[in-house]
A and B are shown apart, each in its own frame.
Chain A
């Protein structure tokens, strides 16, 4: 079955430093989504990438989808304490009728003020 690997598992950064998390799928994806989960909270949708090589920005966050549609990354510039949480990528398979999202294990970001 489809597997989604995400690294690193944990990242501790000083406030103001940059942060990147990487996601790799064992199969080609139709799209990839990113979610943020705050401690004690539920996953909250950040963005969806659909096209090969797509790059999207949301303020300090930059999301990329690989050319082969099997890998993705999230980069945060100049982290703030409000960025604390676990960031998950979730891939949707490209098979017909496949609507489930396969989540990575997430990268837990800690920001030291």
Chain B
């Protein structure tokens, strides 16, 4: 148990629908990351928060993707008008911050767009 929890674990949605995922990081961790992973690939960076501030966002990230971390604790990732290419495992990770960059990953949310 890494302490990072993600919900839901699995999501099947029809193309064109909106989906929202939630991540609860380890409580004392102030940095939170979202990654996407497809089969046979490494995790691909999507976005990063330091407390409630979104400090980095991948240039590859479509404007259909939005993430929030309103109170600096849990975070949500929303995908609007889903496409089949959005099917992937969405991973959340948190780190303590400062020089300690060891990332603790959650179990992920597996999205299937049909």
Contact = CB atoms under 8 A, between A and B. Distances in A.
B52 to A, nearest CB: 15
A6 B48 CA distance: 24
B105 A101 contact: no
Contacts of B101: 31, 33, 48, 92, 99, 101
Interface residues of B, number: 26
B42 A105 contact: yes
A113 interface: no
- Overall SS of chain A's interface: strand
Interface of B: 2, 31, 33, 35, 40-45, 48, 50, 55-56, 58-59, 91, 93, 101-108
Given A33-B101, A97-B55, 16 more contacts: A4-B42, A41-B107, A42-B91, A42-B106, A42-B108, A43-B91, A43-B103, A45-B103, A48-B102, A88-B43, A92-B101, A99-B48, A101-B101, A101-B103, A105-B40, A106-B41
